[in-house]
């Protein structure tokens, strides 16, 4: 909760004593908030560097991370991606499944896991406009309306129709399909927004039509079936 305590609270309590917060973002056991100056603060669980503060120590109060001018942030299970106001894309935390989008170049470890404890830039492009993290994968939209994904892909959550042949080792030591760099999903240039679930994904195009892909064993895509969808399918 960021109130310098580990005691559960049954009613709202103020975090810090300042009055210049602008937005807040929640992860599984980690949290972040930015001020109206676009400075980013994080707190909570940090065993895999998911707070981006160059440590693996849990934080009980908000702590500013090194970069500023953040527009938005999205938490996965144990990683985070962030979009800066200059259109660049950054990531930190767990990276075993390609979540950091670094192409496998980061050599930092947190225990037995690959990680980055500080924000690292994903590529050099500066035209990203929308982002969302699933548990083990990420989605992003560029200014030109193209859709991109990276990270875990063993249920088709990247929507690439099996074109990705890269493999990563999951925490259980099993090889799984993944992409360690952003890859374009299809060729359409009319994507508007995205949202990543645990093992599935959604996107909305500029015409207002909703699309889904990835795991569908419980009907989570809402398309009337319970089969994996390796490419985006429209949801009527």
Task: Note the pLDDT tens digit of each residue in 194-216.
Answer: 999 999 999 999 999 999 999 99
Round to whole Å and give the CA distance between 132 and 151.
12
85 pLDDT band, cuts 50/70/90, is very high
**Hey, which bits of 70-169 come out as E strands?**
70-75, 79-84, 89-94, 109-110, 113-121, 128-133, 137-142, 147-152, 167-169
21-235 CATH fold: Methylamine Dehydrogenase; Chain H (2.130.10)
Round to whole Å and give the CA distance between 168 and 175.
5
Give per-residue pLDDT as tens, 17-69.
899 999 999 999 999 999 999 999 999 999 999 999 999 999 999 999 987 89
Mean of per-residue pLDDT scores for the chain: 94
Is the pLDDT at 83 greater than 80, yes or no?
yes
Give per-residue pLDDT as tens, 116-148.
999 999 999 999 999 999 999 999 999 999 999
Give per-residue pLDDT as tens, 159-193.
999 899 899 987 778 899 999 999 999 999 999 99
Question: Given this model, what pLDDT does residue 156 score?
Answer: 95
What pTM was computed for the model?
Answer: 0.94
Helix (H, G, I), strand (E, B) or coil at 91: strand
Give per-residue pLDDT as tens, 144-157.
999 999 999 999 99
Round to whole Å and give the CA distance between 233 and 222.
10
Round to whole Å and give the CA distance between 81 and 63.
17
């Amino acid at each position: 909760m960021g109130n310098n305590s580990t005691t559960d609270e049954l009613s709202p309590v103020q975090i810090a004593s300042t009055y210049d917060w602008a937005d807040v973002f929640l992860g599984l056991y980690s949290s972040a908030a930015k001020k109206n100056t676009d400075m980013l603060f994080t707190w909570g669980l940090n065993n895999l560097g998911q707070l981006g503060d160059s440590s693996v120590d849990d934080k009980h109060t908000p702590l500013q991370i090194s970069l500023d001018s953040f527009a938005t942030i999205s938490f996965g299970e144990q990683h985070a991606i962030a979009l800066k106001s200059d259109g660049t894309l950054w990531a930190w935390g767990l990276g075993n499944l390609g979540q950091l989008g670094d192409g496998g170049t980061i050599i930092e470890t947190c225990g037995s896991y690959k990680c980055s404890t500080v924000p690292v830039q994903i590529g050099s492009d500066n035209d990203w406009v929308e982002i969302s993290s699933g548990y083990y994968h990420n989605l992003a939209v560029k200014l030109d309306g193209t859709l991109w994904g990276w990270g875990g892909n063993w249920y088709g959550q990247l929507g690439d129709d099996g074109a990705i042949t890269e493999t990563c080792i999951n925490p259980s030591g099993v090889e799984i399909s993944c992409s360690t760099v952003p890859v374009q999903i299809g060729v359409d240039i009319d994507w508007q927004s995205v949202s990543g679930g645990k093992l599935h994904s959604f996107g909305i195009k500029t015409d207002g039509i909703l699309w889904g892909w990835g795991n569908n064993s419980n009907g989570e895509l809402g398309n009337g079936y319970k089969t994996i969808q390796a490419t985006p399918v429209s949801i009527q």
